[in-house]
A = this chain, B = another copy of it.
Amino acid sequence: MEKLQNIRIAVDAIVFGYKNNGLYVLLIEQQFGSSEKYWALPGGLVQNDESLNDAVIRELHEETNVQLTFMEQLYTFGDDIHRDSRNRVISVAYYALVDASNLEIKADTDAERVQWFKIDEIPSLAFDHNLILKKGIERLKAKLTYEPIGFDLLSEEFLFSDLENLYCTILEKEIDRRNFRKKILSYGILEETEKFSPIKTGRPAKLFKFNKLKYNELIQKGFHFEIKFA
């Protein structure tokens, strides 16, 4: 006779932000038991009557106040039966992007802290969250090269040099500025605005916008976004 299933299901979210020319992740500090504190990905158990998607949104809303520009399911972690030492918990992980440039993260609630961590300065996290994060970063890197999600990490209007920098730093690759610009522009998915950068150094730079409508049109016609370097 089979025992009744006794497995919990949770969602966890990796929220990526890009600021100060670096990739960041949003972590929250959780209290375990009476003393132990750990940084962890935002997340929690799924409620009986909510979709996985809604669960992620709810948890993010409860724990932070970020405004997502992109979200996608990443992977379901359920091979390590003891990933949570208390109970068996299977976690459906998501990753999301935000425009971190003009974003205030929520003040402390429930004695929990919320903070941006630079991607190369991540502490030891709760559960298998370091593993989840690793997979998230891999996916982000891959996705950046074949879908225009880089724009979701930037402000609506951005400089070409920001975009270039974002690709360089996240993918950890060198890149020829001129070829990069030429390639992106050739796709015709950017819109030039009349505005200029407020930064007062060097030649003034135009602000650009990503034209999502145009992108969708092109996709219909079989267009395929791709950025790759040596």
User: Which residues in A have some Cβ–Cβ distance to B below 8 Å?
Assistant: 2-3, 5-9, 45-53, 73, 75-76, 78-81, 88, 90, 92
Cβ contacts A to B, 18 pairs, < 8 Å: A2-B47, A5-B8, A5-B48, A7-B46, A7-B48, A9-B78, A46-B78, A51-B78, A51-B81, A52-B76, A52-B78, A52-B79, A52-B90, A53-B79, A73-B75, A76-B76, A76-B92, A90-B92
A14 to chain B, nearest CB (A): 16
Q: Which chain B residues lie closer than 8 Å to A47 at the CB level?
A: 2-3, 5
Count this chain's copies in the assembly.
Answer: 2
CA distance A79 to B51 in the complex (A): 4
Q: Which chain B residues lie closer than 8 Å to A76 at the CB level?
A: 52, 73, 76, 92
A53 to chain B, nearest CB (A): 5
CA distance A52 to B81 in the complex (A): 9
Q: Which chain B residues lie closer than 8 Å to A7 at the CB level?
A: 9, 46, 48
Given contacts A52-B76, A81-B51, contact A9 B90 (CB under 8 A): yes
Which B residue's beta carbon lies closest to that of A75?
Answer: B73
Interchain CB contact under 8 A, A5 and B45: yes
Q: Which chain B residues lie closer than 8 Å to A45 at the CB level?
A: 5
CA distance A77 to B49 in the complex (A): 14
Which B residue's beta carbon lies closest to that of A76?
Answer: B76
CA distance A50 to B50 in the complex (A): 26
Interchain CB contact under 8 A, A3 and B90: no
Q: Enumerate the 7 nearest inter-chain pairs by beta-carbon distance, A residue then B residue, closest first.
A: A51-B79, A52-B78, A76-B76, A76-B92, A53-B79, A6-B48, A7-B9
Which B residue's beta carbon lies closest to that of A7?
Answer: B9
CA distance A50 to B5 in the complex (A): 11
Q: Which chain B residues lie closer than 8 Å to A51 at the CB level?
A: 78-81
With A5-B48, A53-B79, A76-B76 given, can you name 18 additional A-B contacts, CB distance below 8 Å?
A3-B47, A3-B48, A5-B8, A7-B9, A7-B46, A9-B9, A9-B78, A9-B90, A46-B78, A49-B81, A50-B81, A51-B79, A52-B78, A52-B79, A52-B90, A73-B75, A73-B76, A90-B92
